[in-house]
Amino acid sequence: MSSFNIPNHALNLAAGLSRIQTSTDAVTTRISSGQRLDRPSRDVADTGLAAKLDSQQLRFGAVEVNLQNGVSRMQVTSSHLDTLSRVITRLSEIATLGKNAVQSASERALYAEETSQLLGQLRQTIGGPQAQIGGTSGVVSPLGQFDGAELFGSGNAETLAIGLEANEQLKLPVLDFRTGPLAAVFRQDATGAFTFKIDGSGAISELGAALDQISEAQAQVGSVQSRLEFAAGVATTARTNQEAALAVIRDADIAVETTLKARLQILSEGHTAMLAQARDASAKLLPLLSRN
């Protein structure tokens, strides 16, 4: 009686062979692509987690751009502060040299010309509207800029996102040099003449106060730059670790998949041989049945 079930056995073998081929195709796809999550239905939870990690990776990239821009801005600001400090220091030197009674009028005239040029450098670097820095006109586009933003004016502190969380933010320092001791050094009167007098009795103390203002700004910039560099290191480490976690979730284990493919190939060959035997048996049985 079992002989009459040969066609059914052949159909079952064919169905099994089809399932094996489908699994083989899936394994081949995973091996060739290197992706374990070849389709969402394979692992719903990990597919969702991988999508979330992908989003975080893009945000980490944006954070790193923010940090790089922040560090660049602090470096540019620090460079300008060094220049301002050197200018004030040189003015202090000139103020001291000017208190030399044996100097000739021509020598004093040279110092006066250098002083005017240095004060002009301060004014062009810091800039500002006429209402703040005086003169016949303001300095609309000062040298102290970064990406179009003025570095030494007043205003609200700019915020920089340095992490993925909403509270991971850093406020950049506001360095207002258009008020205070430094502004008093390069301010001009209505005729465009500088109000600061290098040979005045209070010149050295005024320059000292201006230098203190610059030194305080340098300390602020240095602390922010240190924080940005530390945050950049943290962000890079976090992103690297997350990339490793994402690889574990998404990447195929080639050794496991190759072993599975070899197993499926053996099963496929066995099913193919058995299916051939079943068809051969059916072919031999039909003539006998027709004679009967």
251 pLDDT higher than 70: no
Do 229 and 263 lie in a common domain? no
In a domain, 80, yes or no: yes
- Calpha distance 82→78 (Å, rounded): 6
Give per-residue pLDDT as tens, 29-38.
666 666 666 5
* Per-residue tokens: 218: 């340098």
pLDDT band at 10 (very low <50, low <70, confident <90, very high): low
Strand partners, 170: 160
Which structural domain, as residue segments, surrounds residue 152?
45-249
Do 30 and 59 lie in a common domain? no
Whether the model pTM is above 0.85 = no
The total number of structural domains that make up the chain: 2
Contact of 224 with 77, CB cutoff 8 Å: no
pLDDT at 240: 85
- Calpha distance 146→150 (Å, rounded): 7
* Average pLDDT for 185-208: 94
Give per-residue pLDDT as tens, 126-155.
999 999 999 999 999 999 999 989 999 988
In a domain, 40, yes or no: no
Q: Is 289 helix (H, G, I), strand (E, B) or coil?
A: helix
Do 227 and 197 lie in a common domain? yes
- Calpha distance 283→292 (Å, rounded): 15
Contact of 140 with 165, CB cutoff 8 Å: no
pLDDT at 50: 74
In a domain, 39, yes or no: no
Do 126 and 190 lie in a common domain? yes
Candidates 145, 163, 175, 166; CA nearest to 66 is 163
Contact of 284 with 2, CB cutoff 8 Å: no
Do 259 and 158 lie in a common domain? no
104 pLDDT higher than 80: no
Do 161 and 232 lie in a common domain? yes
117 pLDDT higher than 70: yes
Q: CA torsion 221→130→186→197, rounded to 10°?
A: -160
Do 164 and 94 lie in a common domain? yes
Do 271 and 166 lie in a common domain? no
Report the DSSP pairing between strands 145-146 and 149-150. antiparallel
pLDDT band at 3 (very low <50, low <70, confident <90, very high): very low
